[in-house]
Each structure stands twice: as structure tokens, then as C-alpha cells.
Amino acid sequence: MPPRFFGAIRRRNISLMRWTLVFLGRMDARRAAGVMLALVAASALLIARAPANRTSAQQPTDTPIAPPGYAIERVAPPTQNVSTSQTSFSVDITVENVTNLGAYDVLVTYDSAFMTFLSATDGPFLGSTGRTEGCQPPVLQPVGGTLIKLHYGCGTFNPPPPNGPSGAGTLATITFVPIAVGSVDLALEPSLADPFGNTINAVAYGGHVDINSGPTPTPSDTSTPTVTPTPCPGACPTPTAVVCSPTTVAVAVSGIESK
């Protein structure tokens, strides 16, 4: 609840108490105390019925929706597959249906057991109408266990003109490093304001990242190649037929005359 709201209620209570003392000036102390307690109870009821901050965080969805007049923040892409062999991966924080944007605060919760924060960069949308802007350094807030909430905010200076941008665009780009295999939700909370610092009603849709161990390398062939014998290196020569001619041989044997 904004402090100015509580201040207004306190001023209203004091005014009512004075009015009661004027018109019930002769009332005894016990009845006066009872009236004051009733006023305090009425104030508590007013506080309980006062509208809460009209923003909410939602689960990832392909088609984000919002009540009329609400802006939409979301993680883009809503889902992606990455590998531990990658040096890093990035997501964009985008906005839609916004009017006269003056500042934003990226609030993303993730599991640091599977990924670590690397960097945050202001997108082109906030300063697109020519307003001077500035950003705060990223802050990593532990929120229990291995969960970390990233805070990264940028805003513009001085009242309009010019007005802040309206419509849709990229607020920021967040880069992470995958360090372990697993599934990680990126829980996004809405946080938008106009150039005067007034909250812009919004809903937010987070994202989801599946981290794998990396691409499986193609196995190399370790078998011993089979050698096919080649009868001749290059082309084999054509065989040539050889014709043999009969030969008469005279043989002399001792004591016998050959004829």
C-alpha cells in the first residue's frame, strides 16, 4: 500500500475524531473511547477493501492474454532448448499493449543450480520516443535455496514532452550461461511505470528452458578396412599365344646306328 494512501486515511481519522469530539463533547470517556475504537476498526476495513497492486505473474503460454487496459510483459521465446556445450543463451523481455511507458524493472527468478546470470542489456523500446534514459546495474537477490531473482531496471528523466512509447517492443535482453542439465522456469513479474512514476497495470508471462548435455558427436569408423587384392597394378597385359614347332633330334647310341 503506498504511504500516501495510509497518510490520507490517518488524516481522515483525525478529522472524524475531531468532529466526534465537537458533537459529542459531553459524552463520557468510556463512550468516547468506544467511538474512537469504532473509527479505528472502520479504517482497518477501508484498508482491507482497498485494491491491491493490480499486477500478476503468469505461467508461460503461447497466447498471452490480459484484462482490458492491462499491458503484457513476457519472456521471448517462451520455451527453448539449449545445451551445456553452448557458451551462453539469451531471452528477450518484451511488452505489449502499453501506453506512455516511462520505466521498467525486469524481475526474473531462475534456478542458479542450472544456469548463471551473465549480462543484461537495455532494449530499444524505452528510449524510442527520444526521452533520455538511464539504467541501474543488475542486482541478484537470493530468494531461497538455489533460486535467484534478477533485478534490472531502466527509466527516463523529466516529465513529458515527449511522452513515453506506446504499443509493443523489447524492453531488455538477458543472457545466461547453462551449467547443468535440467529444466528451468523463468518466472517473470510485471513492473512498469509511466513518466510520472505511476504504476502501469500489467500481467507477466514467464518462460521455460530445457538444458541438455549437448549434441551427440557422430561416431567415427574404427573398423579395419578390407583389402581387395588386385591381380595387376593398373591394367593387366593381354596374354600372347606361343606356337611351338616340332624338332627332330638325332641321338647316337653306342653300338647302335641311328637311322
**Which CATH number characterizes residue 157's domain?**
2.60.40.680
pLDDT at 218 over 70: no
Q: Is residue 45 part of a domain?
A: yes
Q: Is residue 235 part of a domain?
A: no
32 and 140 assigned to the same domain: no
pLDDT at 82 over 80: yes
**Length of the chain, please?**
259
Q: Report DSSP letters for the chain, one per residue.
A: --HHHHHHHHHHHHHHHHHHHHHTTTS-HHHHHHHHHHHHHHHHHHHHHSPPP-EEEE---SS----TT-EEEEEESSEEEEETTSS-EEEEEEEEEE-S--EEEEEEEEETTTEEEEEEEE-SSTTTTS--EEEPPPEEEEEETTEEEEEEEEEE-SSPSSPPP-EEEEEEEEEEEE-SSEEEEEEEE--EE-TTSPBPPEEEE-EEEEEES-PPPPPP--SPPPPPP-SSSSSPPPP---PPPP------BTTB---
pLDDT at 78 over 80: yes
Q: Is residue 238 part of a domain?
A: no
Q: Is residue 185 part of a domain?
A: yes
- 16 against 136, higher pLDDT: 136
Confidence of residue 215 (pLDDT cuts 50, 70, 90): confident
Q: Exposed, middle or buried by CB within 10 Å (0-12, 13-18, 19+), for 68?
A: exposed
Structural domain for 25, as ranges: 3-49
Average pLDDT on 53-72 reads 68
pLDDT at 224: 53
- 45 against 187, higher pLDDT: 187
Average pLDDT on 12-36 reads 40
Confidence of residue 234 (pLDDT cuts 50, 70, 90): low
Average pLDDT on 47-75 reads 64
Tell me how many domains the chain contains: 2
151 and 204 assigned to the same domain: yes
Average pLDDT on 111-132 reads 98
Q: Is residue 234 part of a domain?
A: no
Range of lowest pLDDT (6-10, 31-35, 71-75, 165-169): 6-10
Q: Pairing between strand 89-98 and 167-178?
A: antiparallel
86 and 8 assigned to the same domain: no
**Distance between CA 113 and CA 199 in Å, rounded?**
33
pLDDT at 65: 85
**Distance between CA 75 and CA 93 in Å, rounded?**
5
pLDDT at 221: 53
* Main-chain phi, psi angles of 148, to 5 degrees: -130, 135
C-alpha cell at 57: 505473474
pLDDT at 220: 53
pLDDT at 193 over 80: yes
Across 15-19, 58-62, 97-101, 232-236, the highest mean pLDDT is recorded for 97-101
125 and 196 assigned to the same domain: yes
